[in-house]
Amino acid sequence: MTRLTVYQNCNILPKVVDERIRALFRSNWQHTLTYWSVFFSFGLCIAFLGPTILDLRCQTRSTLQGITLVFFSQQFCLFVGSTVGGFFSKSLGRRNFPEAVLKGRSKESDKPNVFAFIPACVNLPMLAVAMATAGLAMGVIDTISNLQLVKIYQKDSTVFLQALHFFVGLGALVSPLIADPFLSETDCVLGNATINSSSTVRHLRNKLSGRHIHNVSNIHFHTEGQVLTNVSYAFWIMALINLPVPIAVFVLIYWERMLSCRCEHNPHLLEGSIHMYGLKEERSSEQQEVISPEHTDSRGYLKLLNCCPLSKLKELPLSFFGVHILGGLVLFFSDGIVGSYTGFVYTYAVSPPINMSHKTAGYLSSVFWTSITVGRLASIVLSYRVKPVLLLTINQVGVMVTLFVLLLCYTSSVFLFVGTGLLGLFISSVYPCMLALTEDILDYKGCATTVLVTCAGMGEMLLQLLVGSVIHSYGSYSFLLCGLVFGCMGFTLFFMLLVIDHIHRHYMAAAPRTISEADVARH
């Protein structure tokens, strides 16, 4: 059965999508479905550590302060993996680019292996190494999946990026449901007479599920005694659930290697990888023979992530760098809001003046992720009808206004739930829309995606630490104030990006003919 026959028997695109996009999907459905499944696995993995952290503490017989270091090791390596993934996919030449992508995809096989290995981690260093390995693999996958969908669909990538990030939210929703039946209700190291209340353990688990690693130094657990925990079953189930994903990746690798001519005839995987800046118009066959990939390599056009030719740095407009910087900063604050909100909304809710019960406050994080998932699902349809710049404008204004109203109604527990849902809806599609917008501005070279994914990971990691320190120093009220400041800064940077976009498009409208003639003459 051919791949086209498989697609025709399972056409998942709705009829409202026009035939051009359906044809694009039909040509690339194997890659697209694989990336979507990879990101569902990504969501499962990223949300699984928080709920299980107390049981893992028992398993490794470590202190609470020690086990929270696992959060840092995973998050830091995820950031490193995002950066490495960009360099990994862009540092090779045109002839080796498909092989780089395939090697990056094969990183997906690390995750089921890691989940199966975690129950065997009997001490903290082994667990930290395992989670760091998973974080590194997830970071590489994050960059390459976004990068490849942008390259495949280009101007139509918004719809498919929205679907990609929808699967992250879906995985993050499903993950705690898998873990919950196997979590200990009380301290799982017997002999601990200090903390044995199920409500206390639930309260602490809710804090740590949001990766809240601050202000836990005053809580002490025993590390010696009989360990009673069933969390190993949860990790084995996760390993089994994740197992089909690397199988799908290896099937795709098998197809790529069996079709040796595919690399030459699939322009979606290759186009934009070695385009010279400003050379967007079509060339004749004679010109394309003159400007060969090998010749391009020798002239240094594949340097600096294949986007900024070293020999032409002085000719690049400042707007080129401005788009990268501003786009990255917008996602720095956007993902920073997501990370800090999920990390500290529970702590804010159970603190004065709201003083919400522990059980009720525990639902806030679920409400937030549910609204993000629903928002991304709705954005799949909206992005087909609405341009990314308009969606981003609505989202940025909505995030800022919601955080402002939350700050005004800081004593209302009801509006905290309503505002949490609205914030999730507005912020849900910022990430994929920003990727699509910046790549559209820069002619889909793929380098903007690498910069943006890296900045987003950095923002989620650093701003969460910053907010935690501010809350620890000034109280829980500063939580919403920090969010509003981040939202205003994100909106301001987005407005600046629109201005730079206008300047850059005017430059590109005037520059291509002159640059193209000069480059062709030089070659």
Each residue of 150-208: pLDDT tens digit?
888 888 888 888 898 999 889 888 888 888 888 877 767 665 444 556 666 776 777 66
- Residue at 310 is within a domain: yes
Q: Are residues 262 and 311 in the same domain?
A: no
In a domain, 263, yes or no: yes
- In a domain, residue 20? The reply is no
Assess if residue 216 is contained within a domain: yes
Residue 252's CB is within 10 A of a number of other CB atoms, namely 18
* Domain contains 272: no
Q: What is the pTM of this model?
A: 0.78
Helix ranges (DSSP H) in 351-412: 358-361, 363-385, 388-408
What mean pLDDT comes out for the span 74-83?
A: 84
Query: Could you tell me if 407 and 336 lie in one domain?
Result: yes
Q: Are residues 51 and 200 in the same domain?
A: yes
Which of 244 and 499 is assigned the larger pLDDT? 499
**For 21-53, what is each residue's pLDDT tens digit?**
778 888 888 888 888 888 888 888 888 877 888
Q: What's the CATH number where 453 sits?
A: 1.20.1250.20
Mean pLDDT of 312-327: 80
Q: Average pLDDT of the chain?
A: 76
Query: What average pLDDT does range 321-332 have in this prediction?
Result: 93
Percent of the chain residues past pLDDT 70, beyond the cut: 70
Q: Which residue segment(s) compose the domain that 40 sits in? A: 29-267
Given pLDDT bands bounded at 50, 70 and 90, which one contains residue 90? low
| Lowest mean pLDDT segment, chosen from 40-49, 401-410, 443-452 | 443-452
CA distance 33 to 507: 37
Q: Are residues 361 and 474 in the same domain?
A: yes
Given pLDDT bands bounded at 50, 70 and 90, which one contains residue 471? confident
Query: How sure is the predictor about 109, in pLDDT bands with cuts at 50, 70 and 90?
Result: low
Give the ranges where 47-156 is alpha helix by DSSP (H).
Answer: 49-60, 64-67, 69-90, 97-106, 110-117, 124-153
Q: Which two tokens stand for residue 379?
A: 């954005």
Q: Crossing angle for the helix pair 447-474 and 69-90, nearest 10 degrees?
A: 160
Q: For residue 365, give the nearest of 51, 42, 37 by alpha carbon.
A: 51
Least confident window among 163-167, 347-351, 516-520? 516-520
* pLDDT attached to residue 510: 75
Quote the pLDDT of residue 400.
96
For residue 91, being part of any structural domain is answered with: yes
- 279: in domain: no
Banded model confidence at residue 80, pLDDT cuts 50, 70, 90: confident
pLDDT above 60: residue 521: no
Task: Report pLDDT for 421.
Answer: 96
- Residue 186: inside a domain: yes
pLDDT at position 283: 37
Same-domain check for residues 412 and 506:
yes
* pLDDT above 90 (res 392): yes
> For residues 251 and 509, is the Cβ–Cβ distance under 8 A?
no
Number of folded domains in the chain? 2
Two tokens at 49?
A: 């550590």
Q: Are 474 and 102 in contact (CB under 8 A)?
A: no
Of the candidates 509, 520, 3, 513, the one whose C-alpha atom is nearest the C-alpha of residue 255 is 3
Residue 305: per-residue pLDDT: 45
Domain stops at, among 221, 251, 267:
267
Are residues 59 and 131 both part of a single domain? yes
Same domain membership, residue 177 and residue 93: yes
Residue 262 and residue 307 in one domain: no
